[in-house]
Amino acid sequence: MRSLKLPAVSGFDEMIAPGGGVRPHYRSYHDWLLRQDRSLLQRKRKEAELQFHRVGITFNVYGEDSGTERLIPFDTLPRVIPASEWDLLERGTIQRVNALNLFLHDIYHDQNIIRDGRIPAEQIFGNSQYQPCMQDVDLHNQVYSHISGVDLIRDGEGDWYVLEDNLRTPSGVSYMIENRRMMMRLFPELFAEQTVAPVEHYPSLLLETLQQSASYANPTVVLLTPGQFNSAYFEHAFLAQQMGIELVEGADLFVKDGFVYMRTTAGPQRVDVIYRRIDDDFLDPLAFRSDSMLGVPGLLSVYRQGNVVLANAVGTGVGDDKSIYPYVPDMIRFYLDEEPILHNVPTWQCRKPDDLKEVLNQLPKLVVKEVHGAGGYGMLVGPAASQAEIDMFRARLLANPGNYIAQPTLSLSSCPIFVEEGIAPRHIDLRPFVLSGNDTRVVPGGLTRVAMKSGSLVVNSSQGGGTKDTWVLESGEDCPC
């Protein structure tokens, strides 16, 4: 049978097996793709671009002229995941988030995991994301991370790994939904051919989760955004609208007599749950950074009295910090008495002298990350770096080893995308979104991010990465029949 010829890539390709055959779960799409001529795909891509511009699905880039809006590149070829594989990812991410929530509750209460010697105390208490003010604060359902994004990658063998957990304000879910809408608009016939699990109900699940975060029925929920110049503002507005809740800025809220209110045209209105897309540091100038104009003075005191819910909770950052990441498999064993379903990427903690030595020896082969960094800023990708960059990181590592972790450079799996020259493989990752309310759920799929440059491993949108729609096929579709 004919199949697409892709330039050889080292590593695992999502569509094409090593012998050149098409993987079974891609067969239906692949056959359709072969029947399309290139000009049609060109046209569809243009249409998508035009539509995204028209709808204004853009994001702001820090450091560029204020108000600069860019489109995140969208690729029209879907990333397909068979049902059996999704089952593993679903169980694995839910397990992981449950353990992380138990961990957060534990370290802000009895600290059994430290007592038990599983994690050194200084790794928690010395962590800048640890919030002493959360000690003994009781949260409804003991949920800290209501919304979690778990970043997954596959190595050369196709095995899944968790690259990092995002428990603060994970973003990107609006692209998961808009990408699906776009694909259904561009290629309706594809959705008639096979059963793709829907993702568009995510906002209603999110609203349910937020409502369940309060201990009483029918709470007033709002979404707190830093404002329209934030890089993810489009998403904040999108989610608020889809959930039918107010999109508020710090200045719209105020604290009075132990409660939080919003300023409305009909007078003050009480707020019960705040889905905040603002980091801890900026939430309350009285408790955290006093120069923050984004937050609400007095918010933390109301929160600690239990008169308002923040989602995610204050202090979740200690659970997704890169210095805590190596301990997550142990957390799963400790709290759940289960074996981790998803692997961690092997990680050297540079604060340990032996690990540091190892890292310095192999620097050109490794990825080095700041423990508190995010968004692809402040990291070294050894194999892609110049000698000067490597030397610079070597000096930084020696000066402050505790600030870094290092991991082997995983190849990341590749997936075909549509480029000027035709169809070519590019590296991808996957971020499913896990919601924790009365129970823990995950929408089938997630955000697939794409490194648009050939060979690049950096998928972050702030660094020019793109996205594509992610299809989880419903069961029965992945058997080669």
405 binds other proteins per the rule CB under 8 A? no
Q: Work out whether 68 is an interface residue with other proteins (CB under 8 A).
A: no
Instruction: Pick the closer one to other proteins by CB: 242 or 301.
Output: 242
Long-range pairs, 119-122, Cβ under 8 A, ≥24: 119/324, 119/327, 119/330
Query: What contacts 108, CB < 8 A, 6 or more positions away?
Result: 134, 135, 136, 137, 144, 315
Q: Is 275 in the site for other proteins (CB under 8 A)?
A: no
233-243 vs 173-186: helix crossing angle, rounded to 10: 80
Q: Which of 7, 56, 364, 422 binds other proteins (CB under 8 A)?
A: 56
Which CB atom, from 147 or from 318, has the smaller least distance to other proteins?
A: 147
d(CA 44, CA 46): 5
Here's the x/- map for other proteins, 180-219, by CB under 8 A: it reads as: ----------------------------------------
Q: Which is nearer to other proteins, 7 or 56 (CB)?
A: 56
Task: Select from 5, 263, 270, 343 the one that contacts other proteins (CB under 8 A).
Answer: 263
Cis omega (within 30 of 0) for bond into 312: yes
By beta-carbon proximity to other proteins, the closer residue of 25 and 180 is 180
Q: Which of 1, 217, 266, 399 binds other proteins (CB under 8 A)?
A: 266
d(CA 163, CA 143): 23
Instruction: Report whether 415 contacts 425 (CB < 8 A).
Output: yes
User: What does the chain come to in residues?
Assistant: 481
Whole-number minimum distance, CB 310 to other proteins, in Å? 19
Which of residues 252 and 370 has its CB atom nearest to other proteins in the complex? Answer: 252
| Cα separation, 292 vs 224, whole angstroms | 14
Output the six-digit token pair for 329: 């498999």
User: Tokens for 117?
Assistant: 């010697």
> Nearer to other proteins by C-beta: 263 or 453?
263
Q: How far is the CB of 296 from other proteins (least distance, A)?
A: 14
Q: Could you tell me whether strands 273-276 and 309-311 are parallel, antiparallel, or unpaired per DSSP bridges?
A: parallel
Tell which positions 228-257 bind other proteins, by CB under 8 A: 228, 236-238, 240-241, 246-249, 251-252
Cα 350 to Cα 371: distance, rounded to the nearest angstrom: 10
CB closer to other proteins, 246 vs 281 = 246
> Which one of residues 68, 264, 400, 438 is an interface residue with other proteins (CB under 8 A)?
264
Q: What are the angstrom distances between the C-alpha of 122 and each of 33, 127, 164, 320, 448?
A: 54, 7, 21, 16, 35
State the DSSP code for 214: S
**Least distance (Å) from other proteins to the CB of residue 217?**
23
Residues that bind other proteins (CB under 8 A): 53-56, 228, 236-238, 240-241, 246-249, 251-252, 262-267
